[in-house]
Amino acid sequence: MERKAKLSKEEPLDLKCFVCGKKPEEITEYIEAAVANDTTVEDYVKTEEGTYNKENGHFCCTDCYIKIGMPSSDFGWIAP
Residues 24-37 have pLDDT tens digits of: 999 999 999 999 99
In this prediction the pTM is 0.80
Low pLDDT (below 50) residues in the chain = none
Instruction: Establish if 24 belongs to a structural domain.
Output: yes
Instruction: Establish if 32 belongs to a structural domain.
Output: yes
Instruction: Establish if 46 belongs to a structural domain.
Output: yes
Q: What pLDDT, on a 0 to 100 scale, did the predictor assign at position 22?
A: 98
Q: What pLDDT, on a 0 to 100 scale, did the predictor assign at position 68?
A: 97
* Closest C-alpha to 41, from 79, 7, 2, 65: 7
Tally of structural domains, the chain: 1
Instruction: Establish if 54 belongs to a structural domain.
Output: yes
Secondary structure tally for the chain: helices H, strands E: 3, 2
End-to-end CA distance of the chain: 39
Alpha carbon distances (Å) from 32 to 4, 5, 38, 54: 9, 8, 10, 22
Alpha carbon distances (Å) from 3 to 39, 64, 71: 11, 27, 34
Instruction: Establish if 61 belongs to a structural domain.
Output: yes
Instruction: Establish if 74 belongs to a structural domain.
Output: no
Instruction: Establish if 1 belongs to a structural domain.
Output: no
Q: What pLDDT, on a 0 to 100 scale, did the predictor assign at position 13?
A: 78
Please report, rounded to a whole number, the percentage of residues in the chain having pLDDT higher than 90. Answer: 80
